[in-house]
Structure 1
Amino acid sequence: MSTSAVAPAQPSLSALDDEDLLLMLTIRHFELTLLDLFARGELNGTTHTCLGQEYIPVALESVFTDSDFVFSNHRGHGHYLARHRDPRGLLAEIMGREGAVCSGVGGSQHILRGRYLSTGVQGQSLPVAAGVALRLKRTEPGALACAYIGDGTWGEGSVYEALNMARLWELPLLVVVEHNGIAQTTPTTAQLSGSISGRAAAFGVDHVRSDSTDVVELRALLGPAVRRVRRDCRPLVVELATHRVGPHSKGDDTRPEDERAAAEADDWYRRYPPGHEEQFARLDERARAAVADVAREVRRLGPSRWDR
């Protein structure tokens, strides 16, 4: 049977330790720097920022181990930075400069490093994650595979094929849905019938949902749930209602003004400072300066080389 738990959003956010807050702020300023570099004509291609959603990978990374696999998506910079704390290598990858994570051939969306992989192809990661979870179950008990997807990805058949296999084979698969209410430019209400919980239930897959943007609250909710995935080899869908503060990709934000204003009002970056003013100001400036230093350094580097 599918289970569902809802954690209500809180009016104020819990205090974080400096390391967690600094990581969230680093991701924020990294994404803002990318948009600035594009506006200046210093980046080519495209990029999809996670502005407003930075707290999700920070909350989840604490429940992962080095043995776990993380499969990300097109909006994955925050996932990578939470996993590897490597803004220099990621920016070099996106700019095609020396020191790039994947020698500059992966760009913004396609990163491979250790047990981390991102892809811009919607739904592609879930069957792969299911296969990896099967291997982990057989060879590394206690480890899991996590796949980050969005609400729009539920239009892909591969999602349902993977859930079916994961439940039949009892795989340690964690599916994290960053439900920001819009798939590129299409509102979820215009493309998703029923509910994500109902779709998980159809396969007998457990489901947990939260509207919270509070890292401490999310960890308290997700910690026991993820431990059950490891212990029982039982797949789990975690649905996190969130907001995309920035555009889909660079400047293409088609949402009505009231929707954008609502997203900004609930943005953790605005909601955290009250009650934590000194800590926020100190670490915000530290993250801003650190990312600026990384950008200056990477811009001076030569082009990356891919030696096959």
Structure 2
Amino acid sequence: MAPELLAPVPAELLDDDLGLLLLIRHFERKLLELYGRGLLHGTTHTCIGQEYIPVALAPLLGEADHVFSNHRGHGHYLARYRDPYGLLAEIMGREGAVCSGVGGSQHILRDRYLSTGVQGQSLPVAVGVALHLDRAEPEALALAYIGDGTWGEGAVYEALNMACLWRLPLVVVTEHNGIAQSTPTGRQMAGTIGARAAAFGARHHRTAADDVVRIRAEVGPLVEETRHGAGPLVLEFETRRLGPHSKGDDTRPAEEVRRLEARDWYARYTAADGFRRLDDEARRFVDLVADEVLGRPPSVWER
């Protein structure tokens, strides 16, 4: 698909934090809608409620940095590349897909960005990349997104042990949404993530903030310290997953989800100047992207 035939992403949705948040929110909602209409197949995991984390962190990262995402990674990708066309084409297996449609929703490789659906798999790879960066590309770092449930994987601890022993430029972002697929954290995790990080000597910072400016003020200096030899950093975000684990398998009581929605950034920002206009613009643009991608032929993987 020739780039000149595509409607460009409106500048406000790229350059404004709220605009990017809304672009991700409506992209995720569109995926669930497409599934409901029988136009999308397989599986996908939306980040509804957690969009602010990659939006907050994106300006703290440079082109030389490596980003490792997970199964719930659409927001990570969009915050990094602002490429809804390529991502939706990848998820739907249509022409113009980021990875020719063979990666789907969970397994995407682009430049220095890699996502995987296997819990804990990215940490050992991120440590290897961080070792290379430490030796060959000073001040670059590896950042890996994981969930609280991933702290039940042995690979996490093997990776942290090596990263801390060698003081590597590694940032581990834990999106702690309180539920691992359908199991509440309290039923599957003993102790705390902070104590586990401390056992290896890793720096740890936990925040419940969901304001992107406040988050950058909190964690920006810590990320810079990691670039300059301070060793691994574990960032723990107390967040909320508003959507199902996958496309329709939410086992939580409706009342619990409503309580989480009342604390959502989206509900709070409705009173912000320009919110309704940006919200409508993001919704219309995502509709346009979906219609355009749906009209494309299937992608072809040429080896």
Partner of 1:279: 274
Seen in structure 2, the aligned counterparts of structure 1 residues 136 and 223 have a Cα distance that, compared at 3 Å, is same
**Equivalent residue letter for 2:200:** F
Q: Partners in 2 of 1:45 and 1:152 — Cα distance?
A: 22
Which of the residues 287, 293, 296 maps onto 1:298?
Answer: 293
SS for the counterpart of 2:75 is: helix
Residue 233 of structure 1: how far off its partner (Å):
4.5
Q: Does 1:179 align with 2:176?
A: yes
Which of the residues 108, 111, 116 maps onto 1:111?
Answer: 108
Q: Partners in 1 of 2:234 and 2:182 — Cα distance?
A: 24
Partner of 1:47: 44
Could you report, residue by residue, the CA deviation over 1:97-144 in whole angstroms, capped at 9, with x for unpaired residues?
000000000000000000000000000000000000000000100000
Could you report, residue by residue, the CA deviation over 1:1-26 in whole angstroms, capped at 9, with x for unpaired residues?
xxxxxxxxxxxxxxx99621111100
Q: Partners in 1 of 2:61 and 2:176 — Cα distance?
A: 21
In 2, are the aligned partners of 1:137 and 1:233 still within 8 Å (CA)?
A: no
Partner of 1:97: 94
**Equivalent residue letter for 1:287:** A
**Equivalent residue letter for 2:253:** P
SS for the counterpart of 2:68 is: strand
Q: Partners in 1 of 2:61 and 2:18 — Cα distance?
A: 18
Q: Does 1:134 align with 2:131?
A: yes
Seen in structure 2, the aligned counterparts of structure 1 residues 24 and 180 have a Cα distance that, compared at 3 Å, is same
Seen in structure 2, the aligned counterparts of structure 1 residues 149 and 53 have a Cα distance that, compared at 3 Å, is same
SS for the counterpart of 1:289 is: helix
SS for the counterpart of 2:228 is: helix
Which of the residues 61, 67, 72 maps onto 1:70?
Answer: 67
In 2, are the aligned partners of 1:70 and 1:116 still within 8 Å (CA)?
A: yes
Residue 263 of structure 1: how far off its partner (Å):
1.0
Q: Partners in 2 of 1:258 and 1:37 — Cα distance?
A: 25
Partner of 1:166: 163
Q: Partners in 2 of 1:212 and 1:233 — Cα distance?
A: 24
Q: Partners in 2 of 1:21 and 1:226 — Cα distance?
A: 23
User: TM-score, with normalisation over the residues of structure 2?
Assistant: 0.94
**Equivalent residue letter for 2:299:** S
Partner of 2:220: 223
**Equivalent residue letter for 1:286:** E
Q: Percent identity?
A: 68
Residue 232 of structure 1: how far off its partner (Å):
1.5
Q: Partners in 1 of 2:94 and 2:15 — Cα distance?
A: 31
Aligned residues: 291
**Equivalent residue letter for 1:177:** T
Bigger relative contact order, structure 1 or 2, given CA contacts below 8 A and separation 6+? 1
In 2, are the aligned partners of 1:130 and 1:173 still within 8 Å (CA)?
A: yes
Q: CA RMSD in A?
A: 1.2
Q: Partners in 1 of 2:230 and 2:92 — Cα distance?
A: 40
Q: Partners in 1 of 2:14 and 2:283 — Cα distance?
A: 18
Q: Partners in 2 of 1:259 and 1:91 — Cα distance?
A: 30
Partner of 1:262: 259
Q: Partners in 1 of 2:163 and 2:183 — Cα distance?
A: 29
Q: Deviating runs (4+, > 3 A) in structure 1?
A: none
In 1, are the aligned partners of 2:14 and 2:82 still within 8 Å (CA)?
A: no
Gaps of 5+ in 2: 1-12
Q: Partners in 2 of 1:210 and 1:200 — Cα distance?
A: 15
Give runs of aligned pairs for residues 117-156 of structure 1, distance below 5 A.
Answer: 117-156=114-153
Could you report, residue by residue, the CA deviation over 1:234-277 in whole angstroms, capped at 9, with x for unpaired residues?
10000000000111111111112332112101110101122x1x
